[in-house]
Structure 1
Amino acid sequence: MNNVTYKNFTVTVDARGVCQIVLDVPNRPLNVLDHSVMTELASIVSDLETSDTIKVVVFRSSKESGYLAGADVSAIANIQSPQHAARLIENGQLLFQRIEWLPMKKVVVIHGPCLGGGLEMALACDYIIARDNSSTKIGLPEIKLGVIPGWGGTQRLPKRVGLQNSLSMILQGKHLDAKEALNIGLVDRAIPPEDWADGVEQFIDNIVSGSLNCSPRSHRKWTTRLLDNTSLGRAIVFRATGKKIAAKTKAFPALKSALKAIKSAYVRGKDGFFVERTEFTKLLSTPTCRNLLGLFFAREKARSPKTWTVDSVRAAHEMPIQRVGVIGAGAMGAGIGQLAALRGFDVVIKEVNEDAATQGRRRIDVLINSLANRKGWSDFQRRDLTQKITVTCDDDLLRQSDLIVEAIVERMETKQAVFSELDAMVGQDTILATNTSSLSVDTMAMAVSRPANFGGLHFFNPVQRMELVEIVQGKATSDATVSRLVAFVRAMGKTPIVTSDSPGFLVNRVLFPYLGEAILMVREGYDVAKIDKELRRFGMPMGPLELLDQIGLDVALHVAGSLSEVLSGVEPVVEMLQMMVDDGKLGKKTNAGFYRHSNGRRGEVIELAISTQPKKFAETFLDDSLTPIQRRLVYPMLAEAIKCHEERVVVEAWAIDLAMVLGTGFAPHLGGPLHVADSIGVQTLLTNMEFLQEQCGDRFAPPATLTRMAKEDGSFFETDDTLDHSATTTN
C-alpha cells in the first residue's frame, strides 16, 4: 500500500498482511458517504487492486457513534438532473463492484448504525460481524425517503439473506439489531460488547490462518428455500408481495420500483444494476420523494436544541439530565420509565402506596419481558434493565432527580397538589414536567415556586412506539429548561416539537376536528367502514373511527371537553361520545366502540341508533383530488393546522407538518397538512371551505390567514424550502 495520508481514513497494514481501513469523517457526529469519502475510498481500492501482499482487508470505524450511517442525504436532495443522478449512482455501483472483485478476503466490522449505503458497501464484502448491543442498527431505509437502494442493495441483499427477508427489509425500510441480522444470515457473527475486541481479533486471525468456521448464513426452512431458489417459488413470492403493495404504490411509487429492481436480480442476462439506478433516478423527481426528504431534514432539525433555544443550548451540556423521576406507574408512567432506563437513565417511579407500587412493578416487568423476548436478550440483560428502575412509594428517592415527569390522572387539582409537594422537596435545578395531553401547563405551574423550571412533556401512547414528544413551553418556562428537555427527548430516541401552552397543544388540537367530523358523519348515517376505508386510501395509517376505538372514547370525550374553547361545533360530538361511553362502548379496551373487538383484533361495525341520512352536497367543489368523504374529514385538519400557525402554537410551518406525521401518521408522502394545503392551492382550498361552511356550518369557516393568503396567491412553503440540508444521513 502507498503511504498516503487521507482526510477521512486511516490505513495500516500489519505483519500478517491484514489491512485495516478505519473511517472517521471529521466534523460529523456519524460517518457518512459523501463525495470526499467516496473519492478517497476509490483511491484506497486502486491501491488494493495492485497489492500482492495483503491477505485480509478490514473496514471499520473509529467513531464510538457507529460504523456508517449511509449516504449524504443532502447530496441526494441537491441532485440537479436525471443525468446527475444516474452518474452519482453508477459511480457508487462501480466502486462497490470493485470492492467485491478485490482478490483478498474483506471483512466489515459494525458497531452502531450500518444503514443505506453503509450496508450496501458491506454487502460487497465477504464477511460482516456486528456488536450485539442496542445501538447496532442494520438496514436499508431508503424507501422512507421515497427512493430505493441505489448502490447494489436490491441486487446483493436477496442473494445474501433470501428473497423474502430482503423484501421485508427493503420494502419496509426496517432496521435489524445484530442478533436479528445473524438469524437471517446477514451477519456472520454477533459478538457481545464484553467480548467485542477479542472477538473481532479472533475472527480476523481465523481468516488469516484459514481456520474460520462460519455457520451457515441462513437457517431458513426448506419451504422458504424452495420459494427463494426456484423460479416458480419466486414468482409466488413476487405475486403475493405485489398484491400487498398494489394499493400503496400510487402514494409510494418506490415500492413498485423496489420490487422491479429486486426481480431483475433473478433474470438471467438482465443488468439488474442498470434497472436499480434507472428506477432510483425516476423516483427522485416525484412529489413523494421531495416530501419525504423534507420530512427527513425537518426531523433532524427538530432534534437539535439550537432550533428551539439558540441562546440557551449550553444549559443542556452544563446541567444534563441523568436521573429521572416519574410520578405514577400506570401505562404512561411505566412506559416512560422503562424507555428512560433502556436509554441509560437511572429511574425512580413513585406510586401512592405499596399496592399501587406492586402493580407498577408488574407492569414494568411485562414491558421488559416483552422487549427482551422480542430482542432475544439473555437473563443478564433483563436483570440489568430491571435494576435501573426503582418503583417505590417513598418520596426520598425522588429528591436527587434532575427531571421528574408527572403521569397521573388528568385532573388539574390532583396534579397541582402533586407538584406543590414535589416543589418543596427537589433541588433548585430540577425540572418538573407534566405529561398531560390537554390541561393547561400555565395553570399547573401556579402550584410551584420556580415556574421557569416547569413545562409540559407530552409523550404519546404507546410510549415505546410513538416517536413524537411535545415539549410545552408555558409563559414562565425558561429557554434553559426547554433546551434541557429537548436534549433529554433526543437522548430518549424521540423527536421533540416545542409548542406554546394552548388547549390540546398542537397534535390533539389539529387531530380532533378530524375525529369530531367523523363522529358527526356517523350521526348523519354515513357508513363507519366506508369512512375509515376512504381515509386509509388518502394515506392515514388507520381511519378516524378505528383510531377513536384505539385511543378510547372516554379519553376522546375528555379531550373534546378541553378543546371546547378553541373549536366550534364540539357540543354534538361530546353528546354522541357521552352516549357511547355511558353505554359502555369505550373502544378496544371494552371490546366495543364503533367496531367490535376480540383478542385485540377489530371485528365488524357496531350498529348505532342513528336515524338521520347522510348530507348530499351540490357538485360545486373545485378539483382538489379528494373524494367527498376525504374532503370533509381532511379539510378540518388543514384549517386547524393553519390556525395553529397563525396563533404561533408552533412557530415554524415545517414543525407543524412534522408533528402531525410523527404524532398521527398523517400521510407522510403528502408532507403534512400545510404541504397538502399548498398542493391543493390556497384559492381552491378557500373556495371549497366556503362551500362546506354553507352546507355544514361555521365549523368550516376559513381561517383568516387562508383568506389573506388567497388574495396574495401565497403558500406556506417555497419550493423545497423544507429541505434544510443541515442533516445528512439516512438513519
Structure 2
Amino acid sequence: MSAIQYLKNDDGIIILTLDSPNQSANTMNADFRVALENIVSKLKSETSITGIIFRSAKKTFFAGGDLDELIQARLEDATPFFEMIQKMKAEFRYIETLGVPVVAALNGTALGGGWEIALGCHARIALNDPKTKFGLPEVTLGLLPGGGGIVRMVRLLGLQNAFPFLMEGKQFGVDKAKSLGLIQDTAETAEELMNKAIAWVKAHPKSQQPFDVKGYKIPGGDPKTPAVAQMLAIAPAMLRDKTKGCYPAPEAIMAAAVEGAQVDVDTALTIESRYFTYLATGQISKNMIGTFWHGMNAIKAGASRPKDVAKWQASKVGVLGAGMMGAGIAYSTAIKGIPVVLKDVSVENAGKGKAYSQKLLDKKVSQGRMTAEKRDQILSLITTTASAEDLKGCDLIIEAVFENQELKAKVTQEAEAFLVDGGVMASNTSTLPITGLANASKNQANFIGLHFFSPVDKMQLVEIIKGKNTSAETLAKAYDYVQQIGKIPIVVNDSRGFFTSRVFGTFVQEGLRLLHEGVHPARIEMAALKAGMPVGPLAIQDEVALTLSEHVANETRKALQAEGKDLPRSGADDVIQTMIHTFNRKGKAAGAGFYDYPEGGKKHLWEGLSHWKKDVDISEQEMIDRFLFVQALDTLRCYEENVLESVIDANIGSIFGIGFAPWTGGAIQFLNQYGLEQAVQRANQLEANYGERFKAPQLLKDKVATDKID
C-alpha cells in the first residue's frame, strides 16, 4: 500500500491521503519518499486539476522525519543525503508552484516534517482540538527543519518572530496558529474539515504562496533592513552565550534563516538543505536522538518495569513532611487529580506545605493558564493533617522528612499501619541506603525508594531505588505512579548515594578541587558551562548548602568506617570546612557562600575565594574533560557494579537528574561518542595527573573491541 493515496474527485480536486503503511503515525521515511515521487509523476500527467488537498488517515496529521533513518546518516553519506533532501523538497516545491490551490486539512498534530508539509500549502485548515500541536521541534534533537520549515516560517512571520519557533522548537496550538496567521480556518468535525478544504479550493482558483507573489516583502524586513540588521548584530553573541558553543543546531538555524532571507526561495531551500545535512551527519544529533527520542520512548514503554505485573494507579497518596520536598510531591500528585494527605508535626506546618501548591496554582491562574475553579479543585485534593490516622486508605505513602535514619524509621512505622493491604511505603531519600531504611518496615517487600529532585514541580526525573527485598510488584507500582504524575522514572539498585547523588557529588567536588588547586573561580564556573553543564559547581554547591554536603560526607565516612573502610579527605573537603568554619559562609540559604547575594542585586563570586589563589596553569579544555570524565567514569562504575541496570537509565538519569551535558546524549553515550579506545587513553592521562577517581573501569577496557557500551 502506498504511503500517499491519490484520489481525484468530480470537481477535479486531487485528494492526497497520507497513510504510512505499518505505522501508527505518518513519517518521512523511504515509503513516503517513493510515494511522493509517484504522486508528482501522476500530477505531471494530469490535464485538468482544480486543486490539491493533503489529508491524513491517521489520528494525527503527520509526525515528522523518520528518526530511525536520520540517526543512521554518516558523514561519508553527506552527498547522497543532501541530494535525497533536495529531491524531496523539489517535489513539494513542484506541488506548491503548480498554479492551483493547495490546502492542508489538519485533523490533528503536525510537528516537524508534518508542519513543513502544511507550510508548503497555500492554506491550512485545522480541526479545532485543544490537544493539537504544531511546530518545528527539530532543534531539541540537534537538528533543524530540513523540509523548508525555516524558509517558509521566516517568509510568513519575519526573522524575529520566527526565531523562537525555529531555534527553541516552541510548539503551539490551534488558537496561537490562528493568531499568527498560519491557520486560515478551523472546523469542528472531520467532515466539516474536508468540506471547508474543498470550499477553499473552489473559492481560490488561482492560488500561490504569498512569498511567491512578485514584490513580496518579508514581515519586519530582510537582513538589510536597519531594525533587523541591528538585531542581527547582537543575536549571534546572545545565542552563543546560551549555547556556550555546545549546540550547533540553533546556530545553524540562525545562519540558514538569515542567509536564506537574502536570496530567492529555491536558493534559500538549498542553503537550508546544506545546514540540515551538516547536522544530520554530525555526532551531536545522533547523541540527542538516541537519548531524547529512542531512550525516552523506551522509558515511556516501561523498559525498566517488571513486564509480568498488571498496570496500577495510585488512588490516594500520603506524604510525610511538608517541607520543600514534601510540598512539591503533594503538588505534583494533586495536579494530576490524585487525592493527597499531607502530614507534618503540626497542622500549621502542613498548611505551609499546602500554601506552596496554592502559590504555584495562583501563578497559573494569573497567567491565564488555569481557571480559578480548576485551581480550587486541585487544592481541594490536598488534605493537611498532623494525625497519622488521616493516612487511612492510602495505597502509597511517601516519607519526605530530614535525612536522618532514626527519624525516617519512626515516621515509617507510624504511617504504614494505615496503608491499605498491598500498599507501597516509599522513602524520598537522596543518599541513605533503602535496604537499611526498610528495616523499620513491617513489610520490606512493599518498601521502595522514590528520590525526587528539587524543585519537584519543575524537575522531571524520579529515581526509583530497589531495596534488597523490594518485590517486583512494588517496583511496578512505583514506576506506574511516577508515570501517572507525568514524570520520568529510572530504576537503580540500592547503594549509598544510589546513582544520581553519587555522580552529582563527583561534579561538585571536581569544581572544589580545582578551587583548592588555585584555579580562578570564574574560570571554573565558565569551564563547567562550556562543558554543557547548566550551572557551575560553585553555584550548585551554594544551592545545596555547604553544611548539608559536610553532613552527608561525615555520615558517609562514619558508615564506611563501621564497615572497616574509610573515605579519604580531599581538597574539596578542605574547601568546605574552611568556608563553613573559618569564613562562616554556608551557602545561598545562609546568605553567603561561594557567591555573595546582595539584596535586590545580582549574585557574584565572593572576593574571599582568592584565599586559594595560586599561579596555576591549566587549560579550559583540561577542566572540561575533568568535569565530563569524572561523571562519565563514575556512571560507568555504577553500571559495572549493577547500581544501574541499563544504559538508557544511565543516560536519561544523568541528564535529567544531575544536569550532565545534554549535547552528549548522557554520561555513557559521552564515552561511546568519544570513542572507547580514546576514552581509555584520556582516562589514563587524567588518572596519572589527578588520581584514582579517573581510573578507567574494567568494563570500559572490555568494550573497546566493540567500541560501544550497551
TM-score w.r.t. the length of structure 1 is 0.80
1:490 maps to which residue? 483
Q: Distance in 2 between matches of 1:451 and 1:274?
A: 62
Give the deviation of 1:288 after TM superposition: 1.8
1:503 maps to which residue? 496
2:106 maps to which residue? 109
8 Å CA contact retained: 2:136, 2:169: yes
Secondary structure, counterpart of 1:430 in structure 2: strand
Q: Distance in 2 between matches of 1:639 and 1:55?
A: 59
Q: Distance in 1 between matches of 2:443 and 2:587?
A: 40
Q: How many residues align?
A: 681
> 1:510/1:235 Cα in 2 relative to 1: closer, same or farther (>3 Å)?
same
2:593 maps to which residue? 593
Secondary structure, counterpart of 1:243 in structure 2: helix
Q: Distance in 1 between matches of 2:186 and 2:406?
A: 52
1:685 matched to 2:682? The reply is yes
* CA deviation vs aligned residue, 1:430-451 (integer Å, no higher than 9, x gap): 2222221111211121222332
8 Å CA contact retained: 2:14, 2:49: no
1:326 matched to 2:319? The reply is yes
> 1:345/1:166 Cα in 2 relative to 1: closer, same or farther (>3 Å)?
farther
1:141 matched to 2:134? The reply is no
1:660 maps to which residue? 654
Which shifted more, 320-329 or 113-122? 320-329
8 Å CA contact retained: 1:438, 1:562: no
Q: Distance in 2 between matches of 1:333 and 1:449?
A: 23
1:287 maps to which residue? 283
* CA deviation vs aligned residue, 1:46-93 (integer Å, no higher than 9, x gap): 778959797784635653xx5443222001123362244224423442
Match of 1:122 among 100, 111, 118: 118
One-letter code of the match for 2:631? M
1:171 matched to 2:167? The reply is yes
1:552 maps to which residue? 545
> 1:166/1:385 Cα in 2 relative to 1: closer, same or farther (>3 Å)?
farther
* CA deviation vs aligned residue, 1:514-566 (integer Å, no higher than 9, x gap): 21232233344432212101221222222111222233334433443454449
> 1:427/1:115 Cα in 2 relative to 1: closer, same or farther (>3 Å)?
same
One-letter code of the match for 1:529? A
Secondary structure, counterpart of 1:648 in structure 2: coil
Give the deviation of 1:502 after TM superposition: 1.2
Match of 1:77 among 71, 75, 93: 71
Secondary structure, counterpart of 1:526 in structure 2: coil
> 1:287/1:177 Cα in 2 relative to 1: closer, same or farther (>3 Å)?
same
The structure, 1 or 2, with the larger RCO (C-alpha pairs under 8 Å, 6+ apart) is 1
1:728 maps to which residue? none
Q: Distance in 1 between matches of 2:80 and 2:379?
A: 52
1:233 maps to which residue? 227
Secondary structure, counterpart of 1:436 in structure 2: coil
8 Å CA contact retained: 1:690, 1:702: yes
Q: Distance in 1 between matches of 2:542 and 2:185?
A: 44
Give the deviation of 1:504 after TM superposition: 1.3
> 1:31/1:508 Cα in 2 relative to 1: closer, same or farther (>3 Å)?
farther
Give the deviation of 1:677 after TM superposition: 4.2
Give the deviation of 1:598 after TM superposition: 4.7
1:260 matched to 2:255? The reply is yes
1:162 maps to which residue? 158
* CA deviation vs aligned residue, 1:465-509 (integer Å, no higher than 9, x gap): 323221111111222332333333334433322111111111221
Secondary structure, counterpart of 1:251 in structure 2: coil
Give the deviation of 1:594 after TM superposition: 1.0
Give the deviation of 1:643 after TM superposition: 2.3
1:472 maps to which residue? 465
Give the deviation of 1:166 after TM superposition: 1.8
Give the deviation of 1:155 after TM superposition: 0.7
Secondary structure, counterpart of 2:480 in structure 1: helix
Q: Distance in 1 between matches of 2:472 and 2:550?
A: 33
Give the deviation of 1:715 after TM superposition: 3.1
Q: Distance in 1 between matches of 2:707 and 2:313?
A: 37
Q: How does 1:13-52 map to 2 (within 5 A)?
A: 28=23, 31-37=26-32, 39-40=34-35
> 1:341/1:541 Cα in 2 relative to 1: closer, same or farther (>3 Å)?
same
* CA deviation vs aligned residue, 1:184-234 (integer Å, no higher than 9, x gap): 44455799xxx78899699769858979xxxxx9xxxxxx96466963333
1:727 maps to which residue? none
Match of 1:629 among 617, 623, 629: 623
1:577 maps to which residue? 576
> 1:447/1:16 Cα in 2 relative to 1: closer, same or farther (>3 Å)?
farther
1:729 maps to which residue? none
One-letter code of the match for 1:604? H
8 Å CA contact retained: 2:445, 2:470: yes
Unaligned runs of 5+ in 2: 205-209, 211-217
> 1:302/1:321 Cα in 2 relative to 1: closer, same or farther (>3 Å)?
farther
One-letter code of the match for 1:241? A
One-letter code of the match for 1:89? I
8 Å CA contact retained: 1:509, 1:563: no
Which shifted more, 331-340 or 46-55? 46-55
Q: Distance in 2 between matches of 1:716 and 1:316?
A: 40
2:607 maps to which residue? 607
Unaligned runs of 5+ in 1: 1-5, 212-216, 218-223, 620-624, 723-731
Q: Distance in 2 between matches of 1:199 and 1:470?
A: 47
Give the superposed CA RMSD: 4.0
> 1:661/1:616 Cα in 2 relative to 1: closer, same or farther (>3 Å)?
same
Q: Distance in 2 between matches of 1:378 and 1:538?
A: 42
Q: Distance in 1 between matches of 2:10 and 2:485?
A: 44
Match of 1:718 among 695, 707, 710: 707
Q: Distance in 1 between matches of 2:55 and 2:368?
A: 27
8 Å CA contact retained: 1:441, 1:501: yes
Identity of aligned residues (%): 27
Q: Distance in 2 between matches of 1:22 and 1:340?
A: 41
8 Å CA contact retained: 2:319, 2:341: yes
8 Å CA contact retained: 2:156, 2:219: no
> 1:298/1:74 Cα in 2 relative to 1: closer, same or farther (>3 Å)?
closer
1:221 maps to which residue? none
One-letter code of the match for 2:576? L
> 1:395/1:252 Cα in 2 relative to 1: closer, same or farther (>3 Å)?
same
> 1:286/1:23 Cα in 2 relative to 1: closer, same or farther (>3 Å)?
closer
Match of 2:273 among 271, 277, 290: 277
1:335 matched to 2:328? The reply is yes
1:411 matched to 2:411? The reply is no
Secondary structure, counterpart of 2:422 in structure 1: coil
Q: Distance in 2 between matches of 1:17 and 1:451?
A: 71
1:453 matched to 2:446? The reply is yes
Q: Distance in 2 between matches of 1:491 and 1:716?
A: 41
* CA deviation vs aligned residue, 1:664-703 (integer Å, no higher than 9, x gap): 332222343344445272442343233224xxxx554625
Give the deviation of 1:599 after TM superposition: 6.6
1:528 matched to 2:521? The reply is yes
8 Å CA contact retained: 2:586, 2:593: yes
Secondary structure, counterpart of 1:121 in structure 2: helix
Secondary structure, counterpart of 2:596 in structure 1: strand
> 1:382/1:521 Cα in 2 relative to 1: closer, same or farther (>3 Å)?
same
TM-score w.r.t. the length of structure 2 is 0.83
1:725 maps to which residue? none
One-letter code of the match for 1:607? E
> 1:445/1:69 Cα in 2 relative to 1: closer, same or farther (>3 Å)?
farther
One-letter code of the match for 2:225? S
Q: Distance in 2 between matches of 1:567 and 1:245?
A: 46
Q: Distance in 2 between matches of 1:378 and 1:456?
A: 35
Q: Distance in 1 between matches of 2:2 and 2:342?
A: 48
1:669 maps to which residue? 663
Q: Distance in 2 between matches of 1:245 and 1:409?
A: 41
Q: How does 1:365-404 map to 2 (within 5 A)?
A: 365-374=358-367, 376-393=369-386, 395=388, 398-404=391-397
